[in-house]
Structure 1
Amino acid sequence: MPPRNTSQSPAVLRRKSAPEHTADLLREQITAGELQPGARIGVEKLSQSIGVSANTLREALQLLEHERLVNQELNRGIFVARITEADIRDLYAMRRLLELGTVRTARTVPPEALRALRDAIKLGDDAIADRDWSASSRATTDFHSALISIGHSERATVTMKQLMAELRLTISSVREALQMRSEFQEDRRAILARVEQGHFAAAAELLAEYLDKGERAMIEWHRQLNDSAS
């Protein structure tokens, strides 16, 4: 959801370019695990498979490189980024600044943000019941994007989207991801309840615990994946 009414905003009215549309498609493939961390991206082959020119694809990849989702290595090619443990810690530090700051300073919740939070919880419940990893991942991203939109900052919303995309680079196992979802879904439900009540300090306390737990889980998961790969 947009953080405020942007019906007259030039940024919203402007049509996306072909490279931006292509970057959106690739971003979704990367964060959904269709393009695995460390995978080499063959420009010619991929451009043909998604139906865009090689030049358009290269421009899209430049956008994703700026978002830290792909890396270009000299004389080797372009690869889907691999996230490190240090990256995870840094990402969570940034999330605390953005999310906790937004919730702690909130005074009211825009109706569209509240609807988006509730919709994200519903999507998460359905995804867990259906064992649908892709929908579960979207629900998590939707929830945190909606939470950030309480602060009415487009820049914070864009930054949050990038952070969530980077974190999802660590996810490569549907089974393990789904095992984590139910517990974190209940945490998000509790945070939403405090936000609905207007108890923002209490919501921020729950959110701080949630982020601490999420960081520990992501680091442990990342170490397990590295150990199994070595």
Structure 2
Amino acid sequence: MSIAKENGLSLADQVAHELRDDIIGGKLLSGMPLVESDLVRGYNASRNTVREALHLLGREGLTTYIRHKGVIVRRLTVADVRDLFMVRRTLESRAILAGKPLANQQSSGMADAIEAAELACEREDWRAFGTHSLRFHQHVVGLLHSPSFDAFFTNIVAQMRLVFSAAPDEARYQASWLERDRHIHHLLLEGHCQQAGEAMDSYLNDSERQALELLASAARH
């Protein structure tokens, strides 16, 4: 837990950070039980620290307490998904339409996320693919140069990852997005912000429709 001290985080904040990263990384899936004793061992923390971390994640909408069952990774509803995409349109579209030139560091971050997604695609590691695709969109929000928005969007990304984890066929669900991420990055590199914004709007509309279809299919089964 030395990282907690280096970053000025409490131990509970650090455990929450690690749990959140494991959700984004696809290690903790929607509906998975979060057993205190397992977390104490897995994250090398006390029970009180783990409980506080789970409370923090509950406030962020990433975990849910079920009476007589304990804490689980949250299952998202149709209303949750619609709300997530409303947030994504607000932040990602605004970031693109702000029209600021793409700095080398920002472009490199996007390119690295796309390259990592390509490698994951080649390995057919669709869990990793979804994570890297979401990292690309974090870099898009990063164009706003707002640490507060960056922190807030990390939570949105974690919730989106829970949507992906409900897909019975992640290959079919994920594979089509790589080329569209690459296209948006290319438009940003060329300074075509209006076109990039339109491409992002189309991307998010299609992504929302697919996510809602996924939830409807999961509910039927």
- What is the distance in 2 between the residues matched to 1:51 and 1:43? 11
1:210 maps to what in 2? 203
Structure 1: distance between partners of 2:40 and 2:124? 31
TM-score of the superposed pair, with normalisation by structure 2: 0.90
2:110–2:136 contact (8 Å) kept in structure 1: yes
| Structure 2 unaligned spans of 5+ | 1-5
Letter in 1 for 2:111: R
1:23–1:63 contact (8 Å) kept in structure 2: yes
Partner of 1:220: 213
**Separation in 1 of the partners of 2:166 and 2:31?**
15
Is 1:47 equivalent to 2:40 in the alignment? yes
Q: CA deviation at 1:180?
A: 2.4
Q: Deviations over 1:62-90 (max 9, x none)?
A: 22112100123456532221100111011
| Unpaired segments ≥5 residues, structure 1 | 1-12
Aligned: 1:196 with 2:189: yes
Deviation at 1:134, TM superposition (A): 3.3
- Structure 1 length-normalised TM: 0.86
Q: Conserved in 2, the CA contact under 8 Å of 1:69 and 1:81?
A: yes
2:72 is aligned to: 79
Structure 1 residue 103: Cα displacement: 0.5
Paired residues, number: 216
Task: Determine if contact 1:120/1:143 at 8 Å carries over to the other structure.
Answer: yes
Q: Which piece of structure 1 moves more, 81-90 or 130-139?
A: 130-139
Once the 2 structures are TM-superposed, how far is the Cα of residue 174 of structure 1 from its aligned partner? Answer: 7.0
Aligned AA (1:48): R
Match of 1:30 in 2: 23
For 1:5, the equivalent position in structure 2 comes to none
Equivalent residues of 1:133, 1:174 under 8 A apart: no
Percent same amino acid at aligned positions?
A: 28
Asked if 1:127 is matched to 2:115, the reply is no
For 1:1-230, list aligned pairs within 5 A. 14-73=7-66, 76-172=69-165, 176-228=169-221
Q: Is the 8 A contact 2:30 2:166 kept in 1?
A: no
- 3-state SS of the aligned residue for 1:100? helix
For the residue of structure 2 that corresponds to 1:78, the secondary structure is strand
